[in-house]
Structures are given as structure tokens and as C-alpha cells.
Amino acid sequence: MDFIAKDNRYEQMAYRRCGNSGINLPLLSVGLWHNFGEVDDFETGREIIRYAFNEGVTHFDLANNYGPPPGSAETNFGKILKKDLKPYRDELIISTKAGYLMWPGPYGDHGSRKYLLASLDQSLDRMNLDYVDIFYSHRFDPLTPLEETMGALAQAVRSGKALYAGISNYPAAETMQAARILSEMGTPCLIHQVKYSLFQRGAEEGLAAVLREKMIGCIAFSPLAQGLLTDRYLDGIPTDSRAGKSHGFLKTDQITPEVKEVVIKLNKIAGTHGLSLAELALNWVKSHDFITSVLIGVSSKKQLQTNLKILGLPNFSQEQINEINSCLIETT
């Protein structure tokens, strides 16, 4: 064990209360969807996690299928925990999820109790943990009774293998129902994980109101639209970027002339605020009152350093948000 966390690691970070719960989440959380798989450089990932923790990032977000190959991000995170962060386990909020294809056959996908509970056991094995802090249903499954999926989350909490239940990618109406069912089961929904960025504003349409009404926390994923809302693609597609890698989920055909045009406009607006485009995009997300935490991905410590700068920024005013919104388009 050669990692000793900085004594002043909690001095810069801001924490927001997650819904009607006892948990505070850091304003910036770090996700391991990309850049932490078997295909990635382990030491770079390790450096990112260590640096993040030293800057007060207490929340790391995983899912069963993160890699590639699926599962390898959890395995690597387990190694980082063992090497560096094990003594700090009680300072960490570690989440994982099940809901997308993980293993072959009829029981390795979607929302059944069988899949969710088996997957949670596998995730705990890979990370070498006794429990995760948050266990999510990764997506709404219209073919499984919601009572069954929520029952699996409640069972995970009752068994002590998870401390809190969360849902991700659920539409507003299903979120309302899920919240009711979970409350009735005595394991309230802690948090909703939703795609939200300058390019993905669907959450504003109904979900935000449900989350406010039900006092559920909200963590915004892909706030940089997987890197589109940064300077990454202003001059082409770098080979080491997500879009430049064959296994990246950002595809080159998503970088259309229309997208580039908006990115260039936003980059100019960022400049007028003295910000980088990434800082503008992240500060825009954090300025919305239904957001508890902004869940970023990073491929280097340097990107994380840039993104952490938003901690020192005041929230945008409604006028500033309106100005930024006026040049937006919706992307996939």
C-alpha cells in the first residue's frame, strides 16, 4: 500500500444532499464506463481514481457491463481499491447497476429479479466488496412487472449487499411508479441517474418535476455528451479520443456538421465567460437545481483537473442559461 490520501482532500469539493436521504454526493462524481477496461492502461485509470479521491470525489460509478470486455472495469476498480483505497472504504460511495446484456441466455439482461440479484453478486465478486452503496436498475424493462424489478432492489438493500436503491434511464411516469413501489417496500429510491447535458435536455420535460416532488436525487451522466462538448473534436477526430477508438460508444457519424457548428458557437460563448467549453458545459449542468451530482468520464488526470475547476464557479444565472440554450440542438 503506497497511497496515503491528502489530509486536506475535503477542502475544495462541494457536496449536495441526495434527495430526501442522509447522503451527500460530491458535485462532481467520476464514472468508469470508458477508460477503465481491460483494453485501457491500468495505471492511467489508477492515477485518475487516486487524484479524484484526493480532490474530494467520494463517488465512483460503475455497472456490471463497463469495460470492455464487460465486467473488466469492476475488476480493475477492485484492484485499485485493494492497492490504494481499501482503508478509505467508509469514505466512498460506490455504485453499480444491472439492466443491459451481461451474459448469454434468458437471464443475463433486462429487469428480472433473477438477473439483478445474480448480477449484484457477480459485481461484488469482481470488486471484492461486501456491499455497494448504490445498486441501480440500469433501465426500465417494460416486459417485467415493475414490482419484480423494484423488489429485487429492495431485496439487495435488505440483504445488506447494497445500502441504497437507484434507477437509471426510467421515463417520468415509470419513475413515479417505481418511487411509490420502493417506498411501500421500505427502501426509498435514493437517486435517478439520467443522461443530461447541453445536448440532451429531455429530463427537463417531466422527470425533473417528478424528482423534485418525490425528493429523489439526480445524477447527470454524460454531461459532456461523451466529449462532444469539449475541445476534443474541434479540429478533427484524434486517434486517442473516444470517437477515434473502435470500442468507444461515441461514433464518428455523431459528429455531424450541425453538431460541430453548435460546438463552435458554444466554444465562443465559453470564451466570453473566460471558460473552456468543458467548463461551460459542466457548469451549465450544475446550475440546474434538480441536479445533485455531475457524473463525468475522463481519460486523463489533466481532463479531471480541468473539470474540477467548475467547483470555483458560481452557477449560471437564468439569463446566462437562456443565452446558452438559444444556440442548442438535440443530439443522440
Ligand X SMILES: NC(=O)c1ccc[n+]([C@@H]2O[C@H](COP(=O)([O-])OP(=O)(O)OC[C@H]3O[C@@H](n4cnc5c(N)ncnc54)[C@H](OP(=O)(O)O)[C@@H]3O)[C@@H](O)[C@H]2O)c1
Name the residues that contact ligand X, by CB under 6 A: 31-35, 61, 138, 168-169, 193, 221-227, 230-232, 241-242, 278, 295-299, 303, 306-307
3-state helix, strand, coil split of the chain in percent (to 5) is 40, 15, 40
Cβ of residue 278: shortest distance to ligand X, in angstroms? Answer: 4
Which of 87/171 has CB closer to ligand X?
A: 171
User: Which residue's CB is nearer to ligand X, number 186 or number 220?
Assistant: 220
DSSP letter (8 states) at residue 302: H
CB 217 within 8 A of CB 192: yes
Beta bridge partners of 295: 29, 221
| Shortest Cβ 319–ligand X spacing (Å) | 25
Question: How far, in Å, CA of 264 to CA of 247, rounded?
Answer: 26
Residue closer to ligand X (CB basis): 161 or 192: 192
Question: How far apart (Å, rounded) are the C-alpha atoms in residues 226 and 250?
Answer: 7
Contacts of 312 (CB under 8 A, 6+ apart): none
Sign (positive/negative) of CA torsion 24, 28, 34, 37? negative
At 133 the three-state DSSP class reads strand
Least separation, in Å, of the C-beta of 274 and ligand X? 15
Query: Which residue, 108, 127, 125, is CA-closest to 116?
Result: 108
Contact 134/93 with Cβ under 8 angstroms? yes
Q: How far is the CB of 308 from ligand X (least distance, A)?
A: 9
Centre a 10 Å sphere on the Cβ of residue 103 and count the other Cβ atoms it contains. 15
Q: Which is nearer to ligand X, 24 or 168 (CB)?
A: 168
Q: Nearest distance from residue 1's CB to ligand X, in Å?
A: 26
The closest of 134, 201, 137 to 167, measured between CA atoms, is: 137
**Closer CB to ligand X, residue 122 or residue 241?**
241
For ligand X, the closer CB: 46 or 232: 232
Nearer to ligand X, 168 or 187 (CB): 168
Q: Please tell me the distance from the alpha carbon of residue 144 to that of residue 28, in angstroms, as a whole number.
A: 33
Minimum Å distance from CB 232 to ligand X? 5
Measured torsion, CA atoms of residues 147, 148, 149, 152, in degrees rounded to the nearest 10 = 110
Residue 123 beta carbon to ligand X: minimum distance, rounded to whole angstroms: 13
Q: Put residue 176 in one of left, alpha, beta given phi > 0 → left and psi -120 to 50 → alpha.
A: alpha
Of 179 and 298, CB closest to ligand X: 298
Tell me the closest approach of the beta carbon of residue 306 to ligand X, in angstroms. Answer: 4
The residue among 73, 113, 45 whose CA lies nearest residue 304 is 45
